[in-house]
Protein backbone atom coordinates (compact mmCIF):
# COMPACT_ATOMS: atom_id res chain seq x y z
CA UNK A 1 0.00 0.00 0.00
CA UNK A 2 1.15 3.53 -0.75
CA UNK A 3 1.77 5.27 2.59
CA UNK A 4 3.91 8.23 1.55
CA UNK A 5 3.70 10.47 -1.50
CA UNK A 6 6.65 12.71 -2.28
CA UNK A 7 6.29 15.64 -4.68
CA UNK A 8 9.60 16.87 -6.11
CA UNK A 9 10.39 20.52 -6.81
CA UNK A 10 12.76 23.37 -6.05
CA UNK A 11 12.12 26.11 -3.48
CA UNK A 12 12.21 29.77 -4.41
CA UNK A 13 10.20 32.10 -6.62
CA UNK A 14 12.67 31.72 -9.51
CA UNK A 15 11.65 28.03 -9.81
CA UNK A 16 7.91 28.49 -9.40
CA UNK A 17 6.02 27.10 -12.42
CA UNK A 18 9.15 25.64 -14.01
CA UNK A 19 9.34 22.20 -15.61
CA UNK A 20 11.39 20.80 -12.71
CA UNK A 21 8.56 21.76 -10.34
CA UNK A 22 5.94 19.62 -12.09
CA UNK A 23 5.74 17.46 -8.94
CA UNK A 24 4.94 20.43 -6.71
CA UNK A 25 2.50 21.77 -9.29
CA UNK A 26 0.72 18.40 -9.30
CA UNK A 27 0.49 18.55 -5.50
CA UNK A 28 -1.11 21.98 -5.72
CA UNK A 29 -3.86 20.53 -7.95
CA UNK A 30 -5.00 17.99 -5.34
CA UNK A 31 -7.95 19.68 -3.67
CA UNK A 32 -8.11 17.06 -0.89
CA UNK A 33 -4.76 18.32 0.44
CA UNK A 34 -4.38 21.82 -1.00
CA UNK A 35 -6.06 23.68 1.85
CA UNK A 36 -5.00 21.41 4.71
CA UNK A 37 -2.66 22.53 7.49
CA UNK A 38 0.79 21.57 6.18
CA UNK A 39 3.59 21.42 8.75
CA UNK A 40 7.32 22.10 8.48
CA UNK A 41 9.68 19.26 9.33
CA UNK A 42 12.00 16.82 7.55
CA UNK A 43 13.52 19.70 5.54
CA UNK A 44 10.17 20.15 3.86
CA UNK A 45 6.43 20.54 4.22
CA UNK A 46 4.34 17.56 5.16
CA UNK A 47 0.78 16.55 5.83
CA UNK A 48 -0.80 13.42 7.29
CA UNK A 49 -4.29 12.35 6.30
CA UNK A 50 -6.28 9.42 7.63
CA UNK A 51 -5.26 7.14 10.49
CA UNK A 52 -4.12 3.61 11.18
CA UNK A 53 -3.67 1.57 8.01
CA UNK A 54 -5.34 4.35 6.02
CA UNK A 55 -2.81 7.04 7.02
CA UNK A 56 -0.92 8.65 4.14
CA UNK A 57 1.96 11.12 4.46
CA UNK A 58 2.30 13.81 1.78
CA UNK A 59 5.79 15.37 1.56
CA UNK A 60 7.20 18.29 -0.40
CA UNK A 61 10.98 18.37 0.17
CA UNK A 62 12.11 21.98 0.42
CA UNK A 63 15.75 21.27 -0.14
CA UNK A 64 16.96 21.90 -3.64
CA UNK A 65 16.19 19.06 -6.04
CA UNK A 66 19.63 17.45 -5.74
CA UNK A 67 19.16 17.07 -1.96
CA UNK A 68 15.58 15.73 -1.96
CA UNK A 69 16.77 12.43 -0.51
CA UNK A 70 17.65 14.14 2.80
CA UNK A 71 14.02 15.10 3.33
CA UNK A 72 12.66 11.74 2.16
CA UNK A 73 15.05 9.76 4.38
CA UNK A 74 14.13 11.82 7.46
CA UNK A 75 10.38 11.29 6.90
CA UNK A 76 10.80 7.58 6.08
CA UNK A 77 12.75 7.03 9.30
CA UNK A 78 10.31 9.01 11.43
CA UNK A 79 7.15 7.33 10.09
CA UNK A 80 8.81 3.91 9.64
CA UNK A 81 7.75 3.67 6.01
CA UNK A 82 9.08 0.93 3.74
CA UNK A 83 10.52 1.77 0.31
CA UNK A 84 7.74 -0.17 -1.46
CA UNK A 85 5.20 2.13 0.27
CA UNK A 86 6.64 5.30 -1.31
CA UNK A 87 5.30 7.08 -4.41
CA UNK A 88 7.43 9.90 -5.89
CA UNK A 89 5.82 12.40 -8.28
CA UNK A 90 8.32 14.11 -10.57
CA UNK A 91 9.06 15.68 -13.92
CA UNK A 92 10.56 13.34 -16.51
CA UNK A 93 12.87 14.55 -19.24
CA UNK A 94 12.82 11.12 -20.92
CA UNK A 95 9.06 11.23 -21.55
CA UNK A 96 7.56 13.50 -24.15
CA UNK A 97 5.59 16.49 -22.95
CA UNK A 98 2.05 15.55 -21.97
CA UNK A 99 2.74 11.90 -21.18
CA UNK A 100 2.00 10.72 -17.62
CA UNK A 101 2.92 7.25 -16.40
CA UNK A 102 3.24 5.07 -13.32
CA UNK A 103 6.26 2.84 -12.83
CA UNK A 104 8.19 1.04 -10.13
CA UNK A 105 11.97 1.36 -10.07
CA UNK A 106 13.64 1.78 -13.45
CA UNK A 107 16.22 4.19 -14.73
CA UNK A 108 16.66 7.63 -13.26
CA UNK A 109 17.18 9.46 -16.55
CA UNK A 110 19.76 11.77 -14.97
CA UNK A 111 17.14 13.22 -12.59
CA UNK A 112 19.09 14.67 -9.64
CA UNK A 113 16.12 14.50 -7.27
CA UNK A 114 15.69 10.79 -7.94
CA UNK A 115 19.44 10.20 -7.67
CA UNK A 116 19.43 11.85 -4.25
CA UNK A 117 16.50 9.72 -3.08
CA UNK A 118 18.20 6.54 -4.30
CA UNK A 119 21.45 7.56 -2.56
CA UNK A 120 19.61 8.07 0.74
CA UNK A 121 17.34 5.03 0.53
CA UNK A 122 19.89 2.67 -1.01
CA UNK A 123 17.44 1.45 -3.66
CA UNK A 124 15.37 2.65 -6.59
CA UNK A 125 12.51 0.24 -5.91
CA UNK A 126 10.02 2.96 -4.95
CA UNK A 127 7.03 3.83 -7.15
CA UNK A 128 6.85 6.86 -9.39
CA UNK A 129 4.42 9.01 -11.28
CA UNK A 130 6.36 10.52 -14.15
CA UNK A 131 5.13 13.76 -15.70
CA UNK A 132 6.72 14.10 -19.13
CA UNK A 133 8.40 17.41 -19.90
CA UNK A 134 10.35 16.25 -22.98
CA UNK A 135 13.92 17.07 -23.91
CA UNK A 136 15.08 20.41 -25.28
CA UNK A 137 15.62 20.57 -29.04
CA UNK A 138 18.63 22.79 -28.42
CA UNK A 139 20.27 24.33 -25.37
CA UNK A 140 21.23 22.80 -22.05
CA UNK A 141 19.16 20.33 -20.09
CA UNK A 142 19.71 22.38 -16.90
CA UNK A 143 18.23 25.50 -18.54
CA UNK A 144 15.34 23.44 -19.90
CA UNK A 145 14.27 21.85 -16.62
CA UNK A 146 14.61 25.11 -14.67
CA UNK A 147 12.84 27.05 -17.41
CA UNK A 148 9.17 27.92 -17.54
CA UNK A 149 6.72 26.10 -19.78
CA UNK A 150 6.28 27.63 -23.23
CA UNK A 151 3.02 29.30 -24.26
CA UNK A 152 2.22 26.24 -26.40
CA UNK A 153 2.86 23.89 -23.44
CA UNK A 154 0.76 26.02 -21.11
CA UNK A 155 -2.30 25.31 -23.27
CA UNK A 156 -2.33 21.70 -22.01
CA UNK A 157 -0.59 22.16 -18.64
CA UNK A 158 -3.71 22.47 -16.48
CA UNK A 159 -5.15 19.24 -17.90
CA UNK A 160 -1.82 17.43 -17.48
CA UNK A 161 -1.59 18.48 -13.83
CA UNK A 162 -5.25 17.62 -13.23
CA UNK A 163 -4.79 14.10 -14.68
CA UNK A 164 -1.54 13.66 -12.71
CA UNK A 165 -3.31 14.69 -9.50
CA UNK A 166 -6.15 12.26 -10.19
CA UNK A 167 -3.62 9.44 -10.75
CA UNK A 168 -1.96 10.27 -7.41
CA UNK A 169 -5.28 10.08 -5.59
CA UNK A 170 -6.16 6.84 -7.41
CA UNK A 171 -2.99 5.30 -5.94
CA UNK A 172 -4.04 5.91 -2.33
CA UNK A 173 -4.82 2.80 -0.36
CA UNK A 174 -3.97 0.51 -3.24
CA UNK A 175 -1.44 -2.24 -3.60
CA UNK A 176 0.94 -0.90 -6.28
CA UNK A 177 0.31 -4.08 -8.29
CA UNK A 178 -3.29 -2.86 -8.70
CA UNK A 179 -2.19 0.43 -10.22
CA UNK A 180 -2.38 0.54 -13.96
CA UNK A 181 0.92 0.90 -15.77
CA UNK A 182 -0.84 2.35 -18.79
CA UNK A 183 0.28 5.75 -19.91
CA UNK A 184 -1.96 8.81 -20.06
CA UNK A 185 -1.22 10.89 -23.12
CA UNK A 186 -2.56 14.43 -23.08
CA UNK A 187 -0.63 15.88 -26.03
CA UNK A 188 -0.12 13.84 -29.23
The set of catalytic residues is: 20
Neighbours of 146 (CB within 10 A): 16
Cα separation, 167 vs 182, whole angstroms: 11
Cα separation, 144 vs 158, whole angstroms: 19
Cα separation, 1 vs 36, whole angstroms: 22
DSSP state letters, 102-165: EEES---TT-HHHHHHHHHHS---SEEEEEE----SSS-HHHHHTSBPPHHHHHHHHHHHHHHH
Amino acid sequence: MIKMIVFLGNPGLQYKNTRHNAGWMCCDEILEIKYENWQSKFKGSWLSLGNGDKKVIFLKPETYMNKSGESVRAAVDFFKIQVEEILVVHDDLEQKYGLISFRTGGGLGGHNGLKSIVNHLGTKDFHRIRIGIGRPVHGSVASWVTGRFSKEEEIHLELILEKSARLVMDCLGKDPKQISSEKIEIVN
